Structure 1
Amino acid sequence: WNIEKQKIESQLIAHDKAVYDINFSQRNLFASCGADGSVRLFDQRNLEHSTIIYESNPSTPLLRLAWNKINRNHIATIAMDNSGVTIMDIRRPSVALVTLSHCNACVNSMVWAPHSRCHLLCGTHEGQAHIWDLKEVANEGTQEGTNAGQSQPQPLFVHGTSQEIYQVQWSQTQPEWVALGSSKQVEGLHI
């Protein structure tokens, strides 16, 4: 949409079903995920094409995206009714870098740390907040063989609440603080 001209510039038709989330990264890149189970990468300089960088197998709707603002090669996504979060590296389309799961909890929300290239905060339906340290995963992902045969990473930090966590945020200005949103409260955590 061109605001000045009040008209549509371009209409993107990429997903076969509903689009559930969109996230921007670098100046010209954005990604989307949706009911068709795919994550697609777009470049605003050429909107005629998109690249499928990940497809869930079996095809499961992908609900949310979180793009790492420091390590711009990493995107996290969550699938409907599946436990954990899948991390992908946009330099290696179609292959998940790692799937992070703890106690088979379905993740509702996630956010990358604003001050670190390797920390991810997730909020789950079981009322837990997990902070993952992906430093080793990121290092392995840059080597041949990725993380095949490696042990499942464990959360660096786990915090339990009495309610399902619907939303998580990591403070941009005070990165030692995170917020957890549930049905009746917001909890601030100093980490």
Structure 2
Amino acid sequence: MATVQADSNKTVILDIRVPSFPVAELAGHANAVNAVAWAPHSSCHVCTAGDDNHALIWDLSAMPSAIEDPILAYDAKHEINNLLWSTTQPDWVSIAFSDKLQILRV
């Protein structure tokens, strides 16, 4: 499970079998994280987006070792409010910012 605290720049990854402590913390954003989406085709990939205008894709296959950096990053023109990883076309992620919607190929 992936979750974020209000106004936090970290995404916390929890193992629902032992939810009392985080398995990993993804701290690649400079400002608050607004959205998180798991890859529909992989249990090891998650995308996060936030107020720092970045959408970041993380590879969690190295857990429980620390995850330091994302494997892909996209810089939008404004704060990203939401994102969705397509279930029918898993090579595409959509992000929403300002009054725009962008479709990104990963």
Smaller-chain TM-score bracket: over 0.9
| Aligned with residue 13 of structure 2, among 83, 87, 101 | 87
Deviation at 1:89, TM superposition (A): 0.2
5+ residue gaps, structure 1, are: 1-74, 141-146
Deviation at 1:126, TM superposition (A): 1.1
Using the alignment, how far apart are the partners of 1:116 and 1:158 within structure 2?
18
5+ residue gaps, structure 2, are: none
| Aligned with residue 156 of structure 1, among 44, 55, 71 | 71
Select the structure of larger CA radius of gyration: 1
Q: Tell me the TM-score normalized by structure 1.
A: 0.53
Residue 102 of structure 1: aligned partner = 28
Residue pairs, 1:43-82, within 5 angstroms: 75-82=1-8
Is structure 2 residue 100 aligned with structure 1 residue 189? no
Query: For the Cα contact (< 8 Å) 2:12–2:22, is it kept in 1?
Result: yes
Deviation at 1:127, TM superposition (A): 0.8
Residue 55 of structure 2: aligned partner = 129
Q: How many residues align?
A: 106
Residue 119 of structure 1: aligned partner = 45
The percent identity for this pair of structures is 34
Using the alignment, how far apart are the partners of 1:122 and 1:113 within structure 2?
11
Q: Please list every run of at least 4 consecutive aligned residues from structure 1 whose deviation after the TM superposition is greater than 6 angstroms.
A: none
Q: Which has the higher contact order (CA 8 A, sep 6+)?
A: 2
Using the alignment, how far apart are the partners of 2:29 and 2:39 within structure 1?
22
